[in-house]
Amino acid sequence: MTGVESVLVVGAGAMGSQIALVAALAGCDVALHDVDVDVLARAERQLRDRMAQQIVKGRRTPEEVGQAFARLRFAAELDPVTDVDLVIEAVVEKVDVKRQLFADLDRRCPERTVLASNSSSFVPSAMASATMRPDRFCNLHFFNPALVMRCVEVVRGPATSEATMAAAVGFVERIGKQPVVLDREIPGFVANRILNAVRDEAIRLLEGGYATVEAIDTACRTALGYPMGPFELMDLTGIDIGYLTKQARYDETGDPADAPSATVRMLVAAGHLGRKTGRGFYTYENDEQGDD
Ligand SMILES: NC(=O)c1ccc[n+]([C@@H]2O[C@H](COP(=O)([O-])OP(=O)(O)OC[C@H]3O[C@@H](n4cnc5c(N)ncnc54)[C@H](O)[C@@H]3O)[C@@H](O)[C@H]2O)c1
C-alpha cells in the first residue's frame, strides 16, 4: 500500500471522533463508525461545535471546515465502509472487545488495508494475533485531545512489515502530527508510562494526606511547567480510561503496584469519570472535553 487516502475510524467516543476529523481536515476520506447511534450523533454535534468555535476564533476558515465535513461520514453501519486504506480502532479499552472487532474487520477489509489500534496500553501483537494480517497491523496511539496533541506513537509489532510502518508514519505526517516510532512492544508505550509514574506519585501524595488535588496540580503547572496537573488531566482523559488501563496492566503483571488506586476505584464506582460526567476530581458545569 502507498499513501493513505481513505480511513475508517471505529469508535466515535472522545478519541475516535477527533481522530476522524483530524484525518478529514488533512484531506482524507473518512468514515466514523460507532455501534451506538446516540454516540455518533453526539460526536457530530461536538465536532461541529468545536469547528464553529475555531472559525469564530479565526483559526480555521469556513471553507476548510466545510470541506472536511464533506469528507467525513458518520456511519451507523460498518457494511458500506469497507473499501479503506487504513482502519483506526478507538473502542473501549478491553482487549477481548478489540480482538473480536479486529477479527471481524480482517474478514471485511480488502487485503491492502492496514489495521491500527489507538489502544493506550495493549501492544500490537495482543490484537494482531486475532487477524490473518499481523504484517499489516500496528498501533497508532493518539493523545487526548487528538485535535490538538501533536504526538502519535507508531508502534511496531513483531510481525509488522516495513511497508506498514512506512504507510503509518506517512499517514501521521500527512495529518500534521509528530510520529514517534517505537520498534519494540512495551505495554503503555513511552509517553503514558512516564505520565503514569507521575500520576501514581500524585495519588500517593493525595491518599497519604500530604497535599490536596489543587495543591498537586498547581505545583505541577507552576513548578514543572506542565500545561495541566495530573488530576486535571485524569478528569480530561476519563477516570474510567485510566482505571481500565491500570487494571489491564495489573491483570497482566499481578504486581499490586500496577493496580488502580482506592481513590480511582471509588470514583469509577460512583460514576464520577471526569469532565464527561461533570464530576471527577473536580466538578464541571458542562460536557466540554478540552480546549483547542
Ligand atoms: N481517552 C483518552 O484520553 C485516550 C487517549 C489515547 C488513547 N485512548 C484509547 O482510545 C480508545 C478509545 O478511548 P475513548 O476515550 O475514545 O473511549 P470512549 O468510551 O469515549 O469511546 C469508545 C466508543 O467505542 C464504541 N464502541 C465500543 N465497542 C464498539 C464496537 N465493537 N464497534 C464500534 N464501536 C464500539 C462505544 O460505543 C464508544 O462510543 C481506548 O482504547 C483508549 O485506551 C484513550
Domain of 25: which CATH number?
Answer: 3.40.50.720
CA of 219 to the centre of ligand 1 (A): 31
pLDDT band at 290 (very low <50, low <70, confident <90, very high): very low
Burial classification of residue 99, based on how many CB atoms lie within 10 Å of its CB (0-12 exposed, 13-18 middle, 19 or more buried): middle
Which of 92, 140, 192, when mutated, tests ligand 1's pocket best, judged by the most ligand atoms within 8 Å of its CB? 92
- 147 and 201 fall within a common domain: no
- 35 and 120 fall within a common domain: yes
Q: How much is the mean pLDDT over the chain?
A: 94
CA of 15 to the centre of ligand 1 (A): 6
- 217 and 238 fall within a common domain: yes
Q: Whose CA is nearest to atom 1 of ligand 1?
A: 237
- 204 and 166 fall within a common domain: no
Q: Whose CA is nearest to atom 40 of ligand 1?
A: 93
CA of 176 to the centre of ligand 1 (A): 22
pLDDT tens per residue across span 176-200 = 999 999 999 998 899 988 998 999 9
Boundary of a domain, candidates 123, 145, 180: 180
- 150 and 203 fall within a common domain: no
Please give the average per-residue pLDDT across 1-23, as a whole number: 93
Domain assignment present for residue 71? The answer is yes
Specify the pTM: 0.88
- 170 and 201 fall within a common domain: no
Q: Which residues line ligand 1 (CB under 6 A)?
A: 10-16, 33-36, 39, 90-93, 97, 101, 118-120, 142-144, 237-238, 241
Q: How many domains are there within the chain?
A: 2
- 56 and 198 fall within a common domain: no
- 173 and 255 fall within a common domain: no
The pLDDT score that the predictor gives to residue 291 is 46
Domain assignment present for residue 23? The answer is yes
Domain assignment present for residue 12? The answer is yes
Which of 18, 77, 91, 289, when mutated, tests ligand 1's pocket best, judged by the most ligand atoms within 8 Å of its CB? 91
Domain region containing 273? 191-277
- 20 and 65 fall within a common domain: yes
- 117 and 205 fall within a common domain: no
- 45 and 132 fall within a common domain: yes
